Amino acid sequence: MDNSPPKKTCCESIRDYFTSAKFLIYMGHALSTWGDRMWNFAVAVFLVELYGNSLLLTAVYGLVVAGSVLLLGALIGDWVDRNPRLKVAQTSLLVQNSCVIVCGILLMVVFQFKEQLVELYNGWILTTCYILVISIANVANLASTATSITIQRDWVVVVAGQDSSKLADMNATVRIIDQLTNILAPMLVGQIMAFGSHFIGCGFISGWNLCSMCLEYALLWKVFQKTPALAVKAGQKDGQQELKQLSPSKELENGQSPEESSQPLMNETSAVAQPDSPKQRGCCYQVTEPLRTLKAGWVAYYNQNIFFAGMSLAFLYMTVLGFDCITTGYAYTQGLNGSVLSLLMGASAVSGICGTVAFTWIRKKCGLIRTGFISGVVQLSCLMLCVASVFAPGSSLDLSVSPFQDLYSHFMGEKALPEADHSLTSGNITTDAPAEAMPPLQSYMSVSLLFAGVIAARVGLWSFDLTVTQLIQENVIESERGVINGVQNSMNYLLDLLHFIMVILAPNPEAFGLLVIISVSFVAMGHIMYFQFAFKSLGSRLFLCCSPEQKIETEDSPSLPTTV
């Protein structure tokens, strides 16, 4: 008699998928990132509009956000590690959405009564509103960082269990959701503000976050119910209490502990030793505790066996070769309009999605570490087009113009020299030469090569990003996941800040070619560090293509990192 379970029908399989923990995580992540992308796009527009079309408030906001994550990333990660998973996810969700809602309401008040606020106390009330908006929005970003660490770097690993392929597929799907929401969400809120008003846009974002918060809260609870292993966290006693509240007797009836029912990907046999704390601590000890936690987090990050892989990812943030305000601003000086830029951004998103799909396929064929090596080679090869654009016809590179001339003129109050002036005519810098000397086709050759390289490199970039993400997920022990990912975020923001400082020091279009070369150099250094990590892990086998079975034995079972 055949005792095998009956095969599920198509409808039953579809129902099981849409009610699975994996799909519920996708839904919650889509709602969360949609709200984040709308807010990140809108807050920059709101601050520019409020401050008389000046970028000052936007720059201050960006600096505060980057500096906060840089300084507090390790502390946020440590908080994630020290507290139960459900508590962390719910708290960060509530704080993030509540802050966005409050900011939206405050901005609605400012837009509605701006003229009256300017006259009150010589405008100090309005200034206070600006400070409150930036401060509360910064808290929302910190809470968003905590949410990203706990869901994308921890919950996903536990839900995937011991299946490395399932983890790779989940990471790729999460990244595809990021790509789609990064385009569609700003388009939606942009249309609302264009056909309505900024006041309506603020109200829509506040209402969206209120509804989204309730739905995400329910989805988190359902995922937690469907994955008992989430209630068990290394080095915590609260996890057992959560598990009892979740399912008091299911695992005991089956004679199997919750830990055995769904283990994380890596066999985490060790955890960070927590020293016994005395009952009474001195005032100085309590004041300096965050500093000690910060130091311990960075030391733990340095001692990881994936340290060079994480550093390689951080170095990729030191670049102007992305679709941010810097690259789009340069494109405007070269004669590209908003319509063309929107098409290029769409092509970039498609290229990024291709990179996430390629990641899962290459990982199955060549293994995880080799995937990162191949992705790095692809990205660097594509970026050679950007280097070629610096010397192509139509390039704005002019070594006779000092890169710091605009900065010097601004602080010294002097007018820029005529030869440094630039315009949008013919997509190039104006000179004394006649118009016939610059053919239209040649004037766009440089910028075409630049964006061709940027778009093509997204395939390797996103595949490499997913590789390093999964390496961190698989190799960092459970008790350190939060703090290590927090430090990784800090490193990313540090290199991102450096690239903004680089642009501030050399802001004129004539120096953009130098920024491109510096950016490609940093990307190359990042991939050299990854090569060092990969060669140390696999040796000469890095250049050999092996079967998936051999890959599991050699590459997907690295030793546990050193604990601090």
CB 223 within 8 A of CB 136: no
pLDDT of residue 179: 87
Instruction: Name which residue leads in pLDDT, 493 or 431.
Output: 493
The pLDDT-based confidence of 382 (bands split at 50, 70, 90) is very high
Distance CA 228, CA 224 (A): 7
Instruction: Name which residue leads in pLDDT, 510 or 1.
Output: 510
372 and 478 part of one domain: yes
Q: Does position 392 have pLDDT exceeding 70, yes or no?
A: yes
Residue at 159: amino acid letter: V
Distance CA 301, CA 554 (A): 24
The pLDDT-based confidence of 428 (bands split at 50, 70, 90) is very low
Helix/strand/coil (H/E/C) assignment for every residue in 370-391: HHHHHHHHHHHHHHHHHHHHHH
Q: Does position 265 have pLDDT exceeding 50, yes or no?
A: no
Tens of pLDDT, residues 226-237: 999 998 876 555
Instruction: Name which residue leads in pLDDT, 300 or 399.
Output: 300
Q: Write down the mean pLDDT value for the chain.
A: 79
**What residues contact 301, with CB distance under 8 A and at least 6 apart?**
74, 307, 310, 483, 484, 487, 488, 491
For residue 466, which of 64, 106, 173, 237 has the smallest C-alpha distance? 173
188 and 98 part of one domain: yes
CATH number, domain with residue 222: 1.20.1250
38 and 170 part of one domain: yes
Q: What is the mean pLDDT of residues 486-492?
A: 92
Distance CA 482, CA 467 (A): 18
Number of domains in the chain: 2
CATH number, domain with residue 512: 1.20.1250.20
Tens of pLDDT, residues 59-84: 788 888 888 988 899 999 999 999 99
Q: Does position 262 have pLDDT exceeding 80, yes or no?
A: no
The pLDDT-based confidence of 269 (bands split at 50, 70, 90) is very low
Whether 66 is in a domain gets the answer yes
Whether 425 is in a domain gets the answer no
Tally of CB atoms within 10 A around 234: 18
The pLDDT-based confidence of 273 (bands split at 50, 70, 90) is very low
**What residues contact 388, with CB distance under 8 A and at least 6 apart?**
449, 453
pLDDT of residue 401: 62
Tens of pLDDT, residues 104-121: 999 998 888 888 887 877
Q: Does position 29 have pLDDT exceeding 90, yes or no?
A: yes
Residue 523, both tokens = 């990307």
Supply the DSSP symbol for 544. S
Whether 466 is in a domain gets the answer yes
Instruction: Name which residue leads in pLDDT, 405 or 501.
Output: 501
For residue 161, which of 264, 256, 20 has the smallest C-alpha distance? 264
220 and 358 part of one domain: no
For residue 472, which of 118, 156, 32 has the smallest C-alpha distance? 156
Q: What is the mean pLDDT of residues 338-367?
A: 87
214 and 356 part of one domain: no
pLDDT of residue 236: 59
Distance CA 234, CA 255 (A): 21
CB 157 within 8 A of CB 265: yes
**What residues contact 447, with CB distance under 8 A and at least 6 apart?**
331, 334, 335, 336, 389, 394, 427
The pLDDT-based confidence of 270 (bands split at 50, 70, 90) is very low
pTM: 0.76
Strands (E), 404-551: none
Structural domain containing residue 134: 12-228
Residue 546, both tokens = 């092996």
Q: Does position 404 have pLDDT exceeding 70, yes or no?
A: no
CB 370 within 8 A of CB 534: yes
Highest average pLDDT, of 58-62, 251-255, 410-414, comes from: 58-62
361 and 479 part of one domain: yes
Q: Does position 143 have pLDDT exceeding 90, yes or no?
A: yes
Which residue, of 168, 199, 228, is where some domain finishes?
Answer: 228
Task: Calculate what percentage of the chain has a pLDDT beyond 70.
Answer: 77
Distance CA 246, CA 250 (A): 10
Based on its alpha-carbon atoms, the radius of gyration of the chain, rounded to whole angstroms, reads: 26
224 and 322 part of one domain: no
Supply the DSSP symbol for 539. G
325 and 209 part of one domain: no
With vertex at residue 474, the alpha carbon angle to CA 471 and CA 477, rounded to the nearest 5 degrees, is: 120
CA dihedral in degrees (359, 360, 361, 365; nearest 10)? 100
Task: Calculate what percentage of the chain has a pLDDT beyond 90.
Answer: 40
Q: Does position 8 have pLDDT exceeding 60, yes or no?
A: yes
331 and 221 part of one domain: no
Whether 29 is in a domain gets the answer yes
Tally of CB atoms within 10 A around 145: 25
The pLDDT-based confidence of 427 (bands split at 50, 70, 90) is very low
Q: What is the mean pLDDT of residues 240-248?
A: 47
The pLDDT-based confidence of 545 (bands split at 50, 70, 90) is low
Which residue, of 173, 206, 228, is where some domain finishes?
Answer: 228
Whether 246 is in a domain gets the answer no
> 218-222, 430-434, 462-466, 513-517: which range is least confident on average?
430-434
Whether 543 is in a domain gets the answer no
164 and 310 part of one domain: no
Q: Is 284 exposed, middle or buried (0-12, 13-18, 19+ CB in 10 A)?
A: exposed
Instruction: Name which residue leads in pLDDT, 440 or 467.
Output: 467
pLDDT of residue 100: 94
Residue 298, both tokens = 């960075």
188 and 325 part of one domain: no
Whether 413 is in a domain gets the answer no
> 22-31, 336-345, 442-451, 551-560: which range is least confident on average?
551-560
Whether 77 is in a domain gets the answer yes
Q: What is the mean pLDDT of residues 29-45?
A: 89
194 and 318 part of one domain: no
